Structure 1
Amino acid sequence: MSSSDTNTTSANLDAINALKYSKILFLQVWCLATFSLGIVGHILSIYVFTRRSLYSNSCSQYFLASAIAGLFVVCILVPLRLLQYVYNIDAFVSSDAMCRILTWLLNWMKALPSWFIVLACVDRVGPPVSMLTFGLLAIRNIRRSVRRIIPNNTPTQTQNQLPHRQKATDRQLMQMMMVQSAHFITSQLQFQQLRPLTPGIQLKAVHFFKSQQSSCSSQHPPFGPQLESTASHPAFLPRRRGGGEVHPDTLSCGFGLCDAFIK
């Protein structure tokens, strides 16, 4: 092997190690920031939606349920992903039963906040659509029924203030629902577009490093078996603890980072 090939191989190994370190550092910062900010944000949301002025509203109850489900996701899913992708401790590979249970449980937990937001949208959008469907007569009857609920022995000023206050609360909840729905749609579209591309990119990376096996095996003996293991177990399969200077799960040059958050 010539000196130029040796320098190229060393440069490739240095680039792989640099990408591995960058990926691990980014995942550590990202997971810790998501964990801390997620706990604070969801606890504040739970505190707000349990207030007496909002708890009686059906839309705020859906937001409260979404915040509780999101708190469970942050406290359980983020630490598991941190252990899996940073410290190579995978709870999914202990047994087939544990893998099935955790996969079902985590997918169910991740879907709950989104479904509660959908129910909040239905709760806010459904009644106006129904009222438009049944016509102006139903709208007039609903307004009359709301006026009858207000006690007659209260002052007129209080009777005028209560509907305005209720309308302001409904308007704020509607704005919150629209912001959360827009954020959810925009954050999910990019991952849905990247999902079909991720396996192909990872396979190309595996084939590239497999082609480097012949040039690396003479000077780096531990690297060859790891390349074979990587070729037979691509990065998007369940990960196990490995040894060596360069872990095979990091040979995808950071493409596993995309797969980590798409899952």
Structure 2
Amino acid sequence: MSSTSMNMTMDNITYLLATVKMRSILFTRYWCIGMFIVGLIGHTLNICVFTRRSLRFNPCVRYLLASAVAGYFIIFGILPVRLLQFGYNWSLFIPSEILCKTLTFLFSWFRILPCWFIALASLDRYLCSSSSVTLRRWSTLPVSSCLIFCVTVFIGITQIPILIFYTIHQDPMICLGQPNSFQKLNGIFLLIIWSLIPSLAMLIFGLLTIRNIQKSAQRAFDHDMINRRQKRIKHVDRQLVQITLVQSILFGTTSAAGAIGGMYNVIDSNLRKDPLSLAVQGLTGNVLSFIGLLSPCMSFYLCTLSSQLFRRELVHLLSVRQ
């Protein structure tokens, strides 16, 4: 190959490398800023609706409220730091190993919590709609507060290995797990605990709740013993079931993408030695990882607004404010 052809090839590779890096930077900037704006508005409205007097003493709403609060940590914590890291090449992870371990631990902890709280909301709907008195007794505010605390602590414990194995790597300087075997196992574990278990729980308990409601409606129809209060309770239950089912699909798909993105980023770099392949790998992994943050930011628009009950509460709230 002539020197002219080699120079042209090198120029093309350099141009493609610069293009990929620029697209990664632009995607990060627009995505993080957009998600911050819509997430801040959505979670604020979620909290305003879920703390309404007519809803605040509902155990299922307590789980949804906890999910919204956890979403605030994602909005004000993960998004700004990732924006600085991938959008402006200023990482808060690499000044010290303590920051590397601590920030990675906290970010991994809080991004998992919202989907588990939604799973608990699905469980509460199943308990509340059950014909068994014993099961219905578990749908209370004290139980919901206890489960929220226990799940928060449990998820934190599962992320403790990050404090042990994460460190700062040189050339390039980056905060990653050590050794490679931990990175890959941690990615698989993250896929299970972040996506698989909560999503299956949401789907299973959601379907069981629908069956309970159908049986309850049939019994009420057969005996003609339902009053206006019972109708409203069942209406609230159906609306909550609708939210939990939609969120199970949303959280399941997006969290799976985020976990896969995390695993994709820790593939042995020896398989992709050239800089262009590494840049494409990094862009793909970042896109998938950011998709994992979509559901906590968009849950209000895709889930809460899909419920007639919560839309009515939101309109009433806005009219009172005016």
Q: What TM-score range do you get, normalising by the shorter chain?
A: 0.5 to 0.7
Give structure 1 regions of 4+ aligned residues with deviation exceeding 3 angstroms. Answer: 126-130, 190-205
Q: Which residue of 2 aligns with 1:204?
A: 271
Change (3 A) 1:73 1:67: same
Q: 1:49 is matched with which residue?
A: 50
Within-5 A mapping of 1:217-228 = none
The 5-angstrom pairing of residues 5-16 of structure 1 reads 5-16=6-17
Residues 49, 63 of structure 1: 8 Å contact kept: yes
Note if 1:29 corresponds to 2:30: yes
Map 1:91-240 onto structure 2 (within 5 A).
91-128=92-129, 131=132, 160-193=227-260, 195-200=262-267, 202-205=269-272, 207-209=273-275
Q: Residue 289 of structure 2 corresponds to which residue in structure 1?
A: 262
CA distance in 1, matches of 2:38, 2:26: 18
Counterpart residue number, 1:252 = 278
Moved more, 253-262 or 22-31: 253-262
CA distance in 1, matches of 2:75, 2:239: 26
* Amino acid of the structure 2 residue aligned with 1:8: T
Give the whole-Å Cα distance in 2 for the aligned partners of 1:95 and 1:29. Answer: 28
What do residues 159-192 of structure 1 show as CA deviations (whole Å, max 9, x unaligned)?
A: 9322211211111111111111111112223344
* Cα distance change, pair 65–34 in 1 and its aligned pair in 2 (3 A): same
How far apart are the structure 2 equivalents of 1:2 and 1:132?
83
Q: Which amino acid in the other structure matches residue 32 of structure 1?
A: I
Counterpart mapping for 1:60-79 below 5 A: 60-79=61-80
CA distance in 1, matches of 2:131, 2:95: 51
Distance 1:77 1:194 in 2: 16
Q: TM-score, normalised by structure 2?
A: 0.56
Identity, in percent, stands at 36
Q: CA RMSD in A?
A: 2.7
Contact 1:31 1:82 in 2 (8 A): yes
Say if 1:80 and 1:91, in contact at 8 Å, map to a contact too: yes
Which residue does 2:3 correspond to in 1? 2
- Secondary structure of 2:227 counterpart: helix
- 1:106-128 Cα shifts (integer Å, max 9, x gaps): 12211221221121111112345
Shift of 1:103: 1.6
Secondary structure class of the residue paired with 2:266: helix
Give the match's secondary structure for 1:93. Answer: coil
Tell me, yes or no, if the aligned pair for 1:201 and 1:255 is still in contact at 8 Å.
no
Aligned 8 A contact 1:202 1:255 in 2: no
CA distance in 2, matches of 1:41, 1:125: 26
Q: What are structure 2's unaligned runs of at least 5 residues? A: 136-211, 217-225, 291-322
Q: 1:23, 1:103 → 2: CA distance?
A: 21
The answer (yes or no) to whether the contact 1:63–1:120 under 8 Å persists in 2 is: yes
Post-superposition offset of 1:199: 3.4
Structure 1 gaps of 5+ residues are 144-158, 210-249
| 2:274 aligned partner, one-letter code | F
Contact between 2:264 and 2:285, CA under 8 Å: does it hold in 1? no
Q: Give distance in 2, aligned partners of 1:110 and 1:197.
A: 18
Residues of 1 paired with 2:131 and 2:281: CA distance?
47
**Count, aligned residues:** 200
Max radius of gyration: which structure? 1
- Report the Cα offset of residue 257 of structure 1: 2.7
The alignment status of 1:84 with 2:85, answered yes or no, reads yes
Distance 1:113 1:79, change over 3 A: same
Distance 1:130 1:115, change over 3 A: farther
Q: Is the 8 A contact 1:117 1:177 kept in 2?
A: yes
- 2-structure distance, mates of 1:201, 1:21: 24
C-alpha distance after superposition, 1:59-108 (max 9, x if no partner): 01110110111012111100000101111111111212222221221122
Equivalent-residue separation in structure 2 for 1:125 and 1:82 (angstroms): 39
Whether the aligned pair in 1 keeps the contact of 2:20 and 2:283 (CA below 8 Å) is no
Amino acid at match of 2:32: C
